[in-house]
Amino acid sequence: WMTIRQYMTYTQAFYPTWDTAYADSLVSQFTLDTSQKIKNLSRGQRAKVGLLMALAYKPDLLLFDEPSSGLDPVVRRDMLGAIVRTIAEEGRTVMLSSHLLDEVERVADTIVMIHEGRIILSDAMEQIRADFHKFTLRLEAAAETPPALPGMLSCEGGPLEWSMVCKQDINQLKHAATDMNAQIVDLANPTLDDIFVANVKREHRT
């Protein structure tokens, strides 16, 4: 039965650290009409109201479990932008659980990947970008089985070109490729999706 404004006033009473100016800026940023009743809001609008309430009293630690699941791209962008600003401008700690790894990649500085209840990767995002490489290995002679490169997590294609994701120093990979009369081409940083899939494939092989 409450309007957004009434809900804000109600919630504010429980938090001495509530920042009214910041809350109003989030209302504007999320283009919310505070005279609307919450029961009449769309799913995306309700998600924005929930995020507003979580951010406005400025807690030291924020926990988000699939915050943008099922929301349209515009709402997801707005919510992610608010979370990014919270981290960048205010230095607060945010723990985010999500299956949308492209979103995680944009905001996280530390990554923990879990598959079937087990941690398969835990590291700083900067280190992950340095350690993992995605590329095509171009051979001079056809190979029916994947060439063995150090740190290889996944390999597809053949017989002359193999798409790979490896966790290894790039110079060592280039030396190994040279030793087998091959070239590394189309070198790029894999996405978190690429890395997750590659790690899961490795788990299934072992």
Could you give the residue numbers annotated as active site? 66
Residue 30: count of CB within 10 angstroms of its CB:
20
Burial bucket for residue 166 (CB in 10 Å: 0-12, 13-18, 19+): buried
Closest by alpha carbon to 182, among 156, 159, 206, 152? 159
Angle (deg, nearest 10), helices 43-56 and 20-29? 160
Residue 132: count of CB within 10 angstroms of its CB:
23
Is residue 23 classed as helix, strand or coil in its secondary structure?
Answer: helix
Say if residues 185 and 135 touch (Cβ distance below 8 Å): yes
Burial bucket for residue 98 (CB in 10 Å: 0-12, 13-18, 19+): middle
